[in-house]
Chains A and B, each alone.
Chain A
Amino acid sequence: MDEELYIRMLNGRPVDHPMLRSNVESAFPDIDFNNLPHWLARFERVEKPRAGVYEIVNGPIYVIDGDLIRDQWVVRPMTEDEILIKQNRVRQTAAYDQGNRVTSWIFDEATCSYVTPVPMPDDGFPYDWHEPSQTWVRIPPPVLPEIIEGQDGIQRKPYPRGGGAWRWDEATVEWVKVTDEPPEVGTFAVPLPPEE
């Protein structure tokens, strides 16, 4: 939403909530936006900050900043009770989920989440956790089938990996790279139409 925002003022303080400029224009057609009346001020929306693991974000309240009114958020640390409630909720949910998958993961208080008992190697390769042996197993690159059937029912070689968008060429029976841009919606399943 890129529209400018405005807010009503009463006795020098903001009242109600911000209005879209288009709404101000239609509801108050005589407003001169270059010379705002005393009961109207520009407003700036401030995105809610992301809370830390044990933080709570309160607000917003509207504060005056010169001729501008803007959101102000307050970040505070959780109380001990709030920390306990959050940790218990994570523990209970994780216990339910892990019943079907892994049981060895341990609760990490710093991140309030469950992590593997052994850190994943940081050599840049992807690994999968192997619960029976309690180890990380390096994942080989996927071995793709030679021919797959797309959603359209046509059998082709698998859609190429490694980025870009590709077009299926019936003449050469190969994928042809169209662009280096990231794959678009459905390109894994629905190939691009033939080139004109």
Chain B
Amino acid sequence: MATLNDTTINSAGYLRLPQGNTGQRGQNGAGSIRWNTDQGAAEIYNGSGWSRVDVIAPPFPPGQSTYTSPGTYTWTAPSPVSVVHVAAIGGGGGGANTWAQQGGSGSGLGWKNNITVSPGSGYTVVVGGGGGDGQNGGTSYFQSASTVAGYGGGSNYGGQTGGPNGNSRGGGYAGDGGGAGGNCQSWGGAGGAGGYTGRGGNTNEFAPAGGGGSGGNTYSSTFGTGGGGGTGIYGQGAPGQGFYTPWSGQNSPGGGGLGGSGGTRGAYGENPWNGTGENSNNMYGGQYGGGGGGPGTSWPAVAGDGGPGAVRVIWGTTVSRSWPSTNTGDL
């Protein structure tokens, strides 16, 4: 055992501590320090026992980044941010691109808290687009689709989009929690986007939904089906609502489902009696992630696009923040 006095190490490298498991502990009085391989942490002897030494990250104020346009981005962790919480909503499925057909299904919403990041490092953010003309919506995620993701809504021709926690053609999600998109059935109104703690409304489901409400069905092939409601990206709020119309069962367009948690409603279906109203070219699904409406037969067979996806990254330790609803707004 060497004894050194007032030692200076002239290096920019490192000083490696002695390492060993708990059974290999040895000490030479208070102040002894070593690396415990069982705990994966340093420990120090205080004269009567060993205490684990943890590195505590410095506190950091709240901040957020919100992505609402489809595409791929890099999010760079600002210093000293070391942990973030993320919610991701996929793009809604597109309405079918043939006459008198169904809408698209809603996308999934996934959220995950306490994702470790390194200040200065970049992380991939993908925002899925809404499907157009019978195509599936894109999947939105942070870092990877297995970390936290909202899968895109399916469509008549694209089918299911895969991913865990799906709801037939309604998109699934990955993360600590979330909700699947509402499923759009044959000839039916579009599905609503998934919510923070429950799924979006399925076709023609006139009931509150965890996320966006469903679009309404129609009686006649001439009238289009409604778009699904979207889900907001600022945390859990009031539920969406499937559309209700007094004329359900008569000649009328399907109504657009109402959005959940601040999301926007889906568009009304094509209505040949309303020349200035919504037609088959703008029967969009609600923002974010609502399924697009299906076309009727009065306009060229172009269906409504699904609502776009979104990703929101929040952080902060001076204020407690977490999904689905703890201080998830802009701070």
Binding site for B on A (CB under 8 A): 1, 5, 7-8, 16-20, 22-24, 26-28, 45, 47-48, 50-51, 60, 71, 86, 89-90, 93-94, 96-97, 100-101, 105, 111-116, 120, 125-129, 139, 141-145, 148-151, 158-159, 161-163, 182, 185-186, 188-189
Contacts and interface: CB of A to CB of B under 8 A. Distances in A.
Given A114-B99, A150-B246, A188-B246, A19 B276 contact: no
B317 to A, nearest CB: 15
B246 A158 contact: yes
Given A17-B73, A17-B124, A45-B71, A129 B66 contact: no
Interface string B26-38: 0000000000000
Given A18-B73, A114-B99, 11 more contacts: A1-B67, A26-B63, A50-B133, A51-B133, A116-B297, A126-B272, A150-B246, A163-B274, A185-B265, A188-B255, A189-B255
A101 B298 contact: no
Contacts of B100: 129
Contacts of B258: 185-186
Nearest to A48: B129
A155 to B, nearest CB: 11
B251 A139 contact: yes
Q: Which 10 pairs from chain A and chain B are nearest by CB?
A: A113-B98, A126-B272, A26-B78, A27-B76, A1-B69, A148-B246, A17-B74, A16-B74, A27-B78, A189-B244
Nearest to A145: B246
A22 B98 contact: no
Given A1-B67, A50-B133, A129-B221, A144 B247 contact: yes
Contacts of A105: 99
Contacts of B122: 16
B298 to A, nearest CB: 5
A148 B102 CA distance: 28
B220 A128 contact: yes
Contacts of A23: 65, 75-76, 78
User: Chain B interface residue count: which class?
Assistant: 35 or more
A124 to B, nearest CB: 9
Interface string B73-113: 11111110000000000000000011111100000000000
Main secondary structure of the interface of B (DSSP, over half): loop
B76 A19 contact: yes
18 contacts: A1-B67, A17-B124, A17-B125, A48-B70, A93-B157, A97-B102, A101-B221, A120-B298, A125-B272, A127-B297, A129-B297, A141-B273, A142-B250, A145-B246, A150-B246, A151-B244, A161-B273, A189-B246
B222 A127 contact: yes
A22 B313 CA distance: 12
A163 B99 contact: no
A142 B273 contact: yes
Interface string B218-235: 001110000000000000
A113 B301 contact: yes
A126 B298 contact: yes
B187 interface: yes
B178 interface: no
A120 to B, nearest CB: 6
A136 B250 CA distance: 18
